[in-house]
Amino acid sequence: MTRRTLRIFLCCAVVLAAALGARAQRPRFEPQRDYAYDLAATDAAVAEVVLDTGGFAWPELPPGDTVLLEVTVIATGPDAPKLSAARGTAQVHQVFEENSRGRRFLDVSPLRLGAGGRVMLAAEGMAWVEGPARLFVYRNTPLAGRRVLVLAPHPDDAEIAAFGVYRRTKADVVTVTAGDAGGANFEALWSEPGEHFRVKGWIRTWDSISVPFYGGVFPGQARNLGYYDAMLRPMQADPAKAFAPLKAKLDEPGYYRKFNVDPALRDRPFASTWDNLVADLVWELERVRPQVIVAPHPMLDNHADHQFTTIALIDALERWPGDCELLLYTNHGLENEAFPLGGRDAMTGLPAWSGRELFFRRVYSHALTPEEQRLKLVALEAMHDLREFDLRENAPPILTALAQRTREQHDYFRRGPRPNELFFVVTRTDAKRLREAFLAARQASDRQP
Amino acid sequence: MSRRPRGFRAWILVFVAWAAFAADVAAQRPRFDPGQDYGYDLAATQAEVTAVELDGQGFAWPAGADAADTIWLELGLSASEGPAPELAADRGGAGVRQVFEERAKGRRFLDVSPLRHGAGGRVVLAGRGVAWRPGPARLFLYRNRPLAGRRVLVLAPHPDDAEIAAFGVYRHAGADVVTVTAGDSGWENFKALYPETGEHYRIKGMLRTWNSITAPFYGGVMPGQARNLGYYNGRLAEMRLEPAKEFPPLRAMLEHPAYYRRMNVDAALRDRPFRPAWVSLVDDLLWELRRVRPEVIVTPHPLLDSHVEHQLTTIALGEALARWEGEVELYLYTNHGMTNEAYPLGDRHAMTGLPAWPGGELYFSRLCSHPLTPEDRRLKLVALEAQHDLRAFDLRDGQDPLPEAKKLSLQRNDYYRRAPRPVELFFVASRADVARLCDAWLRHQAPR
């Protein structure tokens, strides 16, 4: 087979794999539907506005940091619809699903800093429905000065979801797994799978410890618990059982944990069980005494390791009495993996959602300065699983076709470094209800054939 | 209308690339004429010399050679054709390859150190585009003290130099790795994100300082044991001429002179006062010598490495050594071959070889070919790719991350090709050698 035909063959295989992968991402959001969020039932102040052909009058708003405009969007062309809003010099734009028709939410938080009483709207490939509309205003406790713990299921999740937050608050950043599964990034150097995934986990563990520096968090304050990628769900189902890594061949179970710069965690005994994970999280809660914990939203984030990171956290919270709030993020939008939509200068927006209760009190849109967005991009590029491992051999890396395909939709260089990071704010009490609802839904879906 | 400007732009690009190439070549002053002998006089070093007889197929491997760690075959070569004349040597299961200059003709040295692990009494030679002169030849055998268990200090002028020169050494010896400058100069890798020059170079130095502290991890050296003194790239030459004067960064705009030093994980260095002056640099090196108490110091060879900051790193070290008593050997490396930037030649599986050198005293006692295992070499590639200045900063937004001149330079000078070799090559010098070497370097400077 010539190199050219091999490449064509690979491309076909990759397209097929991508198609299968897309189908595996279960409930695809149907763009003709409304977003199901009921923000009026949350702790929002509601302001009525009237949309006309050019925009709307910016009302006198109660104090707040996060402002969402509820608006009905009708796509008018084949391209992804885009809505822009400007007030004085402040402006935002956001991109919605192709063929959108229904209720959406435009994040207009940055317009608080604009001047003048008028917001100009501009649409590309869409129209908005004129008439009465609502602004939802949230007032969150400022993060500055609060102790923050950022929890990441895998190396790079903390950066994708909360680089701006940890840079601003000098948070502790704790990653749960080594990231020792997934694609064969380093196949060109390590062809034996067990060895390859050992090295991959080792490289990514170091990413999770060393990259938060770009946000001012030193190794030591960035830590990795050293659990194994893709194993959290089976661990939760059998909490006392020790599980082996999915693909990596390790000399000893605590291999990844030993690479911590923080001596206390490095020397802490390791067992790859759910019970031990929960005990580690209790230990971290006692050390950090966080007032804010940043973690994935188990219903909105599609990845099982993300979901069960937060389930483990809520288990741990049962054994730790501290007063704290949860800020929940979405790195793999359940109903649309491509979330957030549009280019990296577009607002993050809310993830597509047609399901039920999400147990949050507030929405928090955390603004990043342009400098923070640049540094966030630097931090994302520093992650081995997000950049291409290109050794400049004469042939392109074998995964190029896959990488190219993936980047069209799922590139975190596009999805990550946005003007804002979006969180759902959940209380301790609501977190418990969220866990029960999540686990009940899991059980129900597991019972189905 | 639209066609002509595009062609014009292409021509401008070609011109810019050519100009950069020409400047690159011109900057590498003493060009080596490939028709010349390599000027090394290894018989004057602490080598055991063994005569061998080359025939048309190879030579007889002398009994007893296996006890040496570093073994060089001196022979006469004559290249016939092709861009990369290559000589291979094989001894029962152990093999080496080395690549020489295009049109090479004269005395050369083939690193046959790995053949000591081979079996049998016969070495088979094979040339590709090159023939060797049959007849009497010499093997130079060196016995170096093993590095394992010795305290080693690796000095790097810039972030990435420690990895290029001595990744295998610091991985095996668990060395302290100290980088002198932040690497806050050079080409504009991050221009797409930071168009303003002062800001661009501040960030570039920040990223590279962090590289120098975190990439040694891939060789088992934790941050803290890897440190960066935080001096400014491109200033060492002026600093040496006015030793007490403080010099600002060449291009980076910093809020505070100690900006880079404060990124250290090692608390003692982070809190140590910083002054961007030569006397401070020498004091800092003395302070490091007292902390590390090295038995071996790895640093650039000031006559073989063409980069002035590489030379000056060792000159500053020489001044610090004059004020420090410890017993120590120096392992001197060549990251920018004086007479040929493309050194080492050939692909990354070929031996490093000696850098082209027309002659003149180099003040070393021995050669050391430090062998890297295949795993060392894979990890070394990982450590090189982790350097922001060696990989392309590709944000996948349609913009080409590499300017044309850089691409052209990578065709010849890519460190992914030059560095992760089967061996790392050092010129071993005693304290006394280094004092004389530094004097010689200073004499070379005087006429300018």
- Reported as a single tens digit per residue, the pLDDT across A194-236 is 999 999 999 999 999 999 999 999 999 999 999 999 999 999 9
Query: Does the beta carbon of A407 lie under 8 angstroms from any beta carbon of chain B?
Result: yes
Q: Do B392 and A214 touch (CB under 8 A)?
A: no
Q: Which two tokens stand for residue A330?
A: 């979405």
Q: Do A390 and B392 touch (CB under 8 A)?
A: yes
Q: Do A390 and B391 touch (CB under 8 A)?
A: yes
Q: Do A219 and B395 touch (CB under 8 A)?
A: no
Among residues B8, B83, B74, which one has the least CA distance to residue B41?
Answer: B74
Of B214, B263, B385, the CB nearest to A389: B385
Among residues A142, A143, A204, A214, which one has the least CA distance to residue A179?
Answer: A204
Q: Do A219 and B265 touch (CB under 8 A)?
A: yes
Share of chain A above pLDDT 90, in %: 85
Burial of B428 (0-12, 13-18, 19+ CB in 10 A): buried
On whether the A39-138 domain is CATH 2.60.120, my answer is: yes
Q: Do A219 and B385 touch (CB under 8 A)?
A: no
Note the pLDDT of residue B23.
46
Q: Do B395 and A413 touch (CB under 8 A)?
A: yes
CA of B37 vs chain A CAs: smallest distance (Å): 32
CA of B443 vs chain A CAs: smallest distance (Å): 41
> Which residues of chain B does A378 touch, with a Cβ-Cβ cutoff of 8 Å?
190, 193, 203, 207
CA of A153 vs chain B CAs: smallest distance (Å): 22
> Which residues of chain A does B218 touch, with a Cβ-Cβ cutoff of 8 Å?
203, 206
Q: For residues A211 and A223, what is the distance between their CA atoms, to the nearest angstrom?
A: 11
Triad B13, B17, B19: Cα angle to 5°: 115
Query: Does the beta carbon of B349 lie under 8 angstroms from any beta carbon of chain A?
Result: no
Q: For residues B387 and B159, what is the distance between their CA atoms, to the nearest angstrom?
A: 8
Q: Give the containing element (helix H, strand E) for A19.
A: helix A3-24
Q: How many CB atoms lie within 10 A of CB A324?
A: 21
Q: How many CB atoms lie within 10 A of CB A113?
A: 11
H-helix segments, B356-430: 374-385, 404-413, 415-418
Query: Does the beta carbon of B393 lie under 8 angstroms from any beta carbon of chain A?
Result: yes
Q: For residues A164 and A140, what is the distance between their CA atoms, to the nearest angstrom?
A: 16
Q: Per-residue confidence at A30, pLDDT binned at 50, 70, 90? A: very high
Q: For residues A74 and A126, what is the distance between their CA atoms, to the nearest angstrom?
A: 5
Find, in chain B, the residue whose alpha carbon is nearest to that of A188.
B378
Query: Does the beta carbon of B355 lie under 8 angstroms from any beta carbon of chain A?
Result: no
User: What is the number of residues in chain B?
Assistant: 448
CA of B350 vs chain A CAs: smallest distance (Å): 15
Backbone angles phi, psi at A31, to 5 degrees: -65, -10
Q: For residues B96 and B115, what is the distance between their CA atoms, to the nearest angstrom?
A: 8
Contacts of A125 (CB under 8 A, 6+ apart): A75, A76, A77, A78, A79, A80, A81, A82
Find, in chain A, the residue whose alpha carbon is nearest to that of B387.
A382
Q: Do A261 and B223 touch (CB under 8 A)?
A: yes
- Reported as a single tens digit per residue, the pLDDT across A129-148 is 999 999 999 999 999 999 99
Q: Do B396 and A407 touch (CB under 8 A)?
A: yes
Query: Does the beta carbon of B382 lie under 8 angstroms from any beta carbon of chain A?
Result: yes
CA of A11 vs chain B CAs: smallest distance (Å): 19
Q: Which two tokens stand for residue B128?
A: 């590709």
Of A219, A261, A391, the CB nearest to B381: A391
Top CATH class, A148-332+369-417: alpha beta
* DSSP 8-state symbol, A219: B
Q: Do B214 and A374 touch (CB under 8 A)?
A: no
Contact criterion met (CB below 8 Å) for B401 and B281: no
Q: Which two tokens stand for residue B132?
A: 């060797």
Query: Does the beta carbon of B170 lie under 8 angstroms from any beta carbon of chain A?
Result: no
Query: Does the beta carbon of A447 lie under 8 angstroms from any beta carbon of chain B?
Result: no
| Rama region for B129: left / alpha / beta (φ>0; ψ in -120 to 50; rest) | left
Of B203, B385, B395, the CB nearest to A381: B395
Domain boundaries of chain A, sorted by first residue: 39-138, 148-332+369-417
> Which residues of chain A does B210 touch, with a Cβ-Cβ cutoff of 8 Å?
210, 213-214
SS3 sequence, B121-179?
Answer: CEEEEEEECEEECCEEEEEEEECCCCCCCCCEEEEECCCCHHHHHHHHHHHHHCCEEEE
Q: Do A391 and B218 touch (CB under 8 A)?
A: no
Q: Which two tokens stand for residue B73?
A: 């075959």
Note the pLDDT of residue B15.
52
Note the pLDDT of residue A20.
42
Q: Per-residue confidence at A190, pLDDT binned at 50, 70, 90? A: very high
Q: How many CB atoms lie within 10 A of CB A380?
A: 23
- Reported as a single tens digit per residue, the pLDDT across A369-419 is 999 999 999 999 999 999 989 888 864 444 556 666 666 678 899 999 999
Contacts of B115 (CB under 8 A, 6+ apart): B61, B71, B89, B90, B91, B94, B95, B96, B123
Burial A382-403 (b: 16+ CB within 10 A, else e): bbbbbbbbbbbeeeebebbbbb
Q: For residues B154 and B177, what is the distance between their CA atoms, to the nearest angstrom?
A: 5
Note the pLDDT of residue B83.
86
Contacts of B375 (CB under 8 A, 6+ apart): none
> Which residues of chain A does B263 touch, with a Cβ-Cβ cutoff of 8 Å?
213
Q: Which two tokens stand for residue A444?
A: 């129900």
Q: Is the dihedral of CA B54, B58, B64, B67 positive or negative?
A: positive
Q: Which amino acid is at B385?
A: E
Contacts of B133 (CB under 8 A, 6+ apart): B54, B75, B76, B77, B78
Q: Do A261 and B393 touch (CB under 8 A)?
A: no
Query: Does the beta carbon of B392 lie under 8 angstroms from any beta carbon of chain A?
Result: yes
Report the residue of A206, A255, A373, A386 to disrupt the B interface, i.e. the one with the largest count of B CBs within 10 Å.
A206
Among residues A189, A179, A123, which one has the least CA distance to residue A156?
Answer: A179
Q: Do A388 and B394 touch (CB under 8 A)?
A: yes
Report the residue of A167, A185, A187, A189 to disrupt the B interface, i.e. the one with the largest count of B CBs within 10 Å.
A189
Across A6-24, average pLDDT = 42
CA of A341 vs chain B CAs: smallest distance (Å): 15
Angle between helices B161-173 and B374-385 (to 10 degrees): 140
Q: What is the pTM of this model?
A: 0.92
Across A117-124, average pLDDT = 97
Contacts of B13 (CB under 8 A, 6+ apart): B404
> Which residues of chain A does B394 touch, with a Cβ-Cβ cutoff of 8 Å?
381, 387-388
Q: What is the DSSP string of A354-374?
A: -SS----SEEEEEE--HHHHH
Query: Does the beta carbon of A412 lie under 8 angstroms from any beta carbon of chain B?
Result: no
Query: Does the beta carbon of B214 lie under 8 angstroms from any beta carbon of chain A?
Result: yes
Note the pLDDT of residue A407.
62
Residue A10 has pLDDT above 50, yes or no: no
Query: Does the beta carbon of A213 lie under 8 angstroms from any beta carbon of chain B?
Result: yes
Contact criterion met (CB below 8 Å) for B246 and B276: yes
Contact criterion met (CB below 8 Å) for B228 and B209: yes
Q: B112 or A13: whose pLDDT is higher?
A: B112
Query: Does the beta carbon of B220 lie under 8 angstroms from any beta carbon of chain A?
Result: no
Find, in chain B, the residue whose alpha carbon is nearest to that of A387.
B394
Q: For residues A262 and A258, what is the distance between their CA atoms, to the nearest angstrom?
A: 9
Note the pLDDT of residue A13.
42
Q: How many CB atoms lie within 10 A of CB B271?
A: 12
> Which residues of chain A does B410 touch, with a Cβ-Cβ cutoff of 8 Å?
392
Q: Do A392 and B410 touch (CB under 8 A)?
A: yes
Contact criterion met (CB below 8 Å) for A139 and A63: yes
Across A12-20, average pLDDT = 41
- Per-residue pLDDT tens digits of chain B, which is 448 residues long: 334 445 555 555 555 554 444 444 444 456 789 999 999 999 999 999 999 999 999 999 999 999 999 999 999 999 997 889 999 999 999 999 999 999 999 999 999 999 999 999 999 999 999 999 999 999 999 999 999 899 999 999 999 999 999 999 999 999 999 999 999 999 999 999 999 999 999 999 999 999 999 999 999 999 999 999 999 999 999 999 999 999 999 999 999 999 999 999 999 999 999 999 999 999 999 999 999 999 999 999 999 999 999 999 999 999 999 999 999 999 999 999 999 999 999 999 999 999 999 999 999 999 999 999 999 999 999 999 999 999 999 988 888 889 999 988 888 899 999 999 999 999 999 999 999 999 999 998 865 4
H-helix segments, B293-351: 308-321
H-helix segments, A218-273: 232-237, 263-266
Q: Which amino acid is at B42?
A: L
- Give the ipTM: 0.91
Q: For residues B17 and A153, what is the distance between their CA atoms, to the nearest angstrom?
A: 46
Query: Does the beta carbon of B347 lie under 8 angstroms from any beta carbon of chain A?
Result: no
Q: How many CB pairs under 8 A join A and B?
A: 59
Among residues B340, B342, B365, which one has the least CA distance to residue B426?
Answer: B365
Note the pLDDT of residue A23.
43
Q: Per-residue confidence at A89, pLDDT binned at 50, 70, 90? A: very high
Contact criterion met (CB below 8 Å) for A66 and A327: no
Q: Which two tokens stand for residue A285?
A: 């809660």
Find, in chain A, the residue whose alpha carbon is nearest to that of B388.
A382
Q: Do A206 and B385 touch (CB under 8 A)?
A: no
Q: For residues B234 and B237, what is the distance between their CA atoms, to the nearest angstrom?
A: 7
Q: Do A213 and B391 touch (CB under 8 A)?
A: no
Angle between helices A304-317 and A274-288 (to 10 degrees): 60
> Which residues of chain A does B212 touch, with a Cβ-Cβ cutoff of 8 Å?
none
Residue A158, SS3? helix
Q: How many CB atoms lie within 10 A of CB B441?
A: 18
Report the residue of A374, A385, A405 to disrupt the B interface, i.e. the one with the largest count of B CBs within 10 Å.
A374
* DSSP 8-state symbol, A212: G
